[in-house]
Structure 1
Amino acid sequence: MKSCLIVDDSKVIRMVAKKILNELGFRTEEAEDGIVALDRCIKQMPDAVLLDWNMPNMNGLEFLHELRKLPDGDRPIVVFCTTENDIDHIQEAITAGANEYIMKPFDSEILQAKFSQVGLL
């Protein structure tokens, strides 16, 4: 079973994403910011990360930079999931190592399509 770390400061977003990803066959873990997420990745690297941009303590972009420096940190598929929708933010995320980018709000079809595109389904 593939694993996905859901990183978002919104408990509601984490709950919705967890329900959808569990239905798609993923084992999920949650983190409320980049610091907690980085600690989880150090303990056990997930197959995928669903990542918010705007969070306290360590934002998504900062987390992504740190993730990619870790041993095996290049392995997880990272899908940014955020309200930041301008081309500069998207380009910055992809340059930093994100594999895909989706906008909030999202639904099951969107997650399924993006996770299929990157070979996780």
Structure 2
Amino acid sequence: MKHCLVVDDSSVIRKVARRILEDMSFTISEAEDGQQALRVCQDSMPDAILLDWNMPVMDGLEFLGKLRLLEGGREPKVVFCTTENDVGHIARAIRAGANEYIMKPFDREIVEAKFHEVGLI
């Protein structure tokens, strides 16, 4: 079973994502910010990361840069999931190593489509 780390400071978003991803046969870990997410990745590198941009302590972009430097950190497929929708943000995310980008609010159909595009399902 594939493992997905859901990183978002909103417990509601984490809960919604968990339900969708568990229905897609993923095991789920959660983190409230990038710093917690890095600790999870250092303990056990996930197959996928659903990542918020704006979070306290360490934002998604900073986390992504640090993730990609870890041993095995280039392996997880990272899907940014955020309200930041301008082309500049999307370009920065892709340059930083994101594999895909989805907008909040999201639904199962969108998550499935993006995870399929990056080869996770």
Match of 1:93 in 2: 93
CA offset digits 1:37-87 (Å, max 9, x no partner): 000000000000000000000000000000000000000000000000000
The percentage of counterpart residues that share the same residue type is 65
Query: Structure 2: how far apart are the matches of 1:108 and 1:73?
Result: 26
**Does 2:6 match 1:3?**
no
Match of 1:59 in 2: 59
Normalising by structure 1, report the TM-score.
1.00
- Structure 2: runs of 5 or more not aligned: none
Across the aligned residues of Structure 1 and Structure 2, the Cα RMSD in angstroms comes to 0.2
Q: Give the 3-state SS of the residue equivalent to 2:68 in structure 1.
A: helix
**Does 2:81 match 1:81?**
yes
Normalising by structure 2, report the TM-score.
1.00
Spell out the pairing of 1:1-121 with structure 2 (5 A cutoff): 1-121=1-121
Query: Structure 1: how far apart are the matches of 2:77 and 2:116?
Result: 11
- 4+ residue stretches of structure 1 with deviation over 2 A? none
- Number of positions where the alignment pairs a residue of Structure 1 with one of Structure 2: 121
CA offset digits 1:71-106 (Å, max 9, x no partner): 000000000000000000000000000000000000
Q: Give the 3-state SS of the residue equivalent to 1:69 in structure 2.
A: coil
CA offset digits 1:2-39 (Å, max 9, x no partner): 00000000000000000000000100000000000000
